[in-house]
Structure formats: structure tokens, C-alpha cells
Chains A and B, each alone.
Chain A
Amino acid sequence: MITYVEGLATDAMSDQFGIVFPEGIPGGGSGELLRLRLNDGFDEPELTAAVYDVNFEGLKIPKTGSEETDKQFTMTFRMDGNWKVYEALKNWHGRVINTITGALQAEKDTRTTMILNAYGPPNKSIVYSKRFNGVKIKTFKVSTWNYENKAEPVKIEAGFIFINTDELTIAENYNV
């Protein structure tokens, strides 16, 4: 048993990941800056199928129906001293809805693509990659200003929606 466990490949580590915006982000902001200033991590949405019950003589048979995945996720970014992160996300959100005029830009001008990469051996290569299609910013909030936060950077919490995901790579040559 011990030999078997020792023979297992290394575990996938939850901090070995990165997000990329290959098409940039709407509004002209820097997707690379968002990648570098991502704070706390990324919580993937749960894939869900709708469930309905068929009852039969006192028993319940659950069955699955259509897609019911909550297609949204949240990411938190550390604000830079030049407020470029704020500018990038604010411009994007401003395209989704202009809070002064109420104008909404066209769907194609407010959505982009985001890729989640998971790294592993050797040499921190990309082992797993998932693409989120049609990502659009939904919520946007600067963290609370507080005189007591002596060593706390300002953070921006942004909520996003997306259309669907693609699996770009699968770890085929990885010994498990």
C-alpha cells in the first residue's frame, strides 16, 4: 500500500493556477494586470442539472433535466496605487451599463473570454485549461475604506456571468 501511495504522481495544488484574458477585456483595460492582481483565488461555479422527482407508490425517483448551472462567479483584485485595476473594471462595467444615461452596449461589445490554467510538473507547465466563454462583468464593488486597516490593500470585488465553458486540455500523459 505504501509503495502504491509513493508511486502516485504529485497532487494538483490549488494555488498553482492562473487566469488569462486572451482577448483582453472590454473597455480597453489590461487583462494582464487583472491576472497579476487577482487576490484570494477563483471559485469555480458548480455544474448543475435540474432535478425533478417522479413519485411511485410511496417512493421517490429523482431524475435530471436541463442545465441549471448558476453561471456566475466572483473574483477579487488588489487595487494598484495608480488605480489601473479600478479603471479597467469600471470601464468594462460602464459598457455593460452606463449609470448616468442608462445605456447598455451591445452584447458582443461587453463580453470576452477568460481561460483558467492549472499548472503542474514539469516546470510548471499547463496541465489543465478551461475556457469561459462570454464572460461579462455584472457587479463591481470597492472594498470598505477603514482607518484601522493598517496593512490592508484596497480590493475590488467583481462578479461575472458567462455563457458556457470549454475544456481545452486534459492531462493525458500524467501518471496517476
Chain B
Amino acid sequence: MANILDNLTSKLEGLDVTLQQKLFGKKAGSSAFEKMDKANYIKLANMNLQLKDRLKFFILPSVEAFSKGSYNPSKGLSPFSDIGNVFNIANASVGMLGNYVTTLYLQEITFPLGPVIEYEEFTKRPKALQKPDSITFTFLEDEKGTVLRYMQIWRKTIVYVGSNGGWTSALSNNSEYVFADNQEATERIGILLLNSANKKKFTFPRIMFYGLKFKDMGQLTVGYNQKDNLTYTVTCSIREVSLPII
């Protein structure tokens, strides 16, 4: 390829000056690549690049959250009782409140842009698909602990940890736990939009996260030498990252 380009360049330079001008409409002596470079330079200068800080993230409860037959611990019922007609208020309402958290407190998101295709070593044929596993959020926190409360409520809709004091502890190591019956109802749908620089239109493809479920909140350090504000790093499990082509 390089040899072909070199030959083309040398041939162009060897052309008659008048012919060069006729072909490329420019002064003699300048190559086709110079004109191409100049055109690309201008295109790059005028191109509106996507900025990373123009994000908007919405989080919605999954459709199953509005279905019946889900266990609601706030009713004080045993997880082993037959409560097929209980409306899962916790999942639906908390899921809707999630937007308040993500639009105001969310600072940063790190996520995989889709699955990883694994190839065979010698034949280079695809052999497996490594699906996206998790998404990481960084949240601010206010003095009311809004984000912490939201995440804890979300966690409690997924798993209920019993302790001597009742179904409230999340940190007891020596206690039994039970997962909610309707796990699909605890999922969220995440929508990531990247706004244009003038904040007037969303031209960047919408990125959807399906099967978003709370995983962990990492570690928190507080201390007398910590002068900055409190932030959380929340990890959520995801089932699918959808990147539409158009």
C-alpha cells in the first residue's frame, strides 16, 4: 500500500505543471495530499466532538416491578407465605424515585460498551462472547443520606437479611437471608443520553442498560483529615448494554 502511494505521489509530481493545475485547481508544486490534508484539517476544526460531561442518566423500574405476585417486606409478611396478589409498591415507587438520584447526584459512570468477542488462538474464529458484567456509578451525597437510603432500599428489595433484631440489618455475618421471589421486579432500566455541546439536541446514540441491579457500594472512608465531600462508588450488575446503530 505504501509503495502504491509513493508511486502515485511521484507520478503526480512528475506531471506537467499545467496538467496539475487543471486536475487539482491549485498552484503548481502542491500535491494532492497537501490539499487533502488541508481539507481534513478544516473538517476536524469544524467538527463538534462529543464532550464527556454532557450526560443525562435516567433510571426506570422494569415492567415486572408493576406486576403482582412480588414479596413486599414493608407489609411485614413472611417471605414464605403465599402472597400472589401483593402489588410490589417498594420496587415500583423506589424505582421511579431513582431519577431524582441519577439526575441530581450522579457524577460519573463507567461501563463496558458491549460484550467482548473472544477468538480462537490460531483460527481466529469467534469462540465465545463475554457479556458485560457491571456498571460503576459515582454519586454525591447530601446531609440527609438520600443516595444511601435509595441504594439500601433497592438492596432490600433484592435480598432480605435477617438478624436477631428483625429484617433490618445488612451487615450481620451470622444471619440468614432470603432472596425476593420476583427478582425481575428488582431490576431497573438505565438510559444514558449524551447531549450536544449546545445542550439543544441528543444526537449521540442513546445507550440502554437492561437488567440493572444493585450489587455493592464499595467502601467508605470518613475521618478528620478528609476535607472533601462524601461520594459513593456504586456497582450495579447489568444483563445487557444496548447500543443502537441509528
Contacts of A57 in B (CB 8 A): 37, 41
Q: Are A54 and B44 in contact (CB under 8 A)?
A: yes
A57 to B40, CA, bound (A): 10
Interface residues on B, range: under 10
Q: Min CB distance, A66 to chain B, in Å?
A: 5
A65 to B49, CA, bound (A): 9
> Could you give, for residues 21-63 of chain B, a 1 whenever the CB lies within 8 Å of some chain A CB and a 0 otherwise?
0000000000000000100110011000101010000000000
> Could you give, for residues 63-99 of chain A, a 1 whenever the CB lies within 8 Å of some chain B CB and a 0 otherwise?
1011000000000000000000000000000000000
Q: Does A61 contact B (CB under 8 A)?
A: yes
Contacts of A63 in B (CB 8 A): 49
Q: Identify which of A54, A56, A59, A66 contacts B49 (C-beta below 8 A).
A: A54
Q: Are A66 and B44 in contact (CB under 8 A)?
A: no
Q: Identify which of B37, B44, B45, B51 contacts A65 (C-beta below 8 A).
A: B51
Which residues of chain A have a CB within 8 Å of any CB of chain B?
54, 56-57, 59, 61, 63, 65-66
Contacts of B40 in A (CB 8 A): 56
Q: Are B41 and A59 in contact (CB under 8 A)?
A: yes
A63 to B40, CA, bound (A): 16
Q: Min CB distance, A20 to chain B, in Å?
A: 32
Q: Min CB distance, A55 to chain B, in Å?
A: 10
In this complex, what residue of A is CB-closest to B33?
Answer: A57
A56 to B41, CA, bound (A): 7
Q: Are A56 and B51 in contact (CB under 8 A)?
A: no
A59 to B38, CA, bound (A): 11
A65 to B37, CA, bound (A): 25
Contacts of B51 in A (CB 8 A): 65-66
> Known contacts A61-B45, A66-B53; can you find 14 more A-B pairs with CB under 8 A?
A54-B44, A54-B49, A56-B40, A56-B41, A56-B44, A57-B37, A57-B41, A59-B41, A61-B41, A61-B44, A63-B49, A65-B51, A65-B53, A66-B51
A17 to B76, CA, bound (A): 68
A56 to B53, CA, bound (A): 24
In this complex, what residue of B is CB-closest to A66?
Answer: B53
Contacts of A61 in B (CB 8 A): 41, 44-45
Contacts of A56 in B (CB 8 A): 40-41, 44
Question: Can you list 16 contacts pairing A with B, beta carbon distance less than 8 Å?
Answer: A54-B44, A54-B49, A56-B40, A56-B41, A56-B44, A57-B37, A57-B41, A59-B41, A61-B41, A61-B44, A61-B45, A63-B49, A65-B51, A65-B53, A66-B51, A66-B53
Q: Min CB distance, B25 to chain A, in Å?
A: 22
Q: Min CB distance, A48 to chain B, in Å?
A: 15
Q: Min CB distance, A102 to chain B, in Å?
A: 10
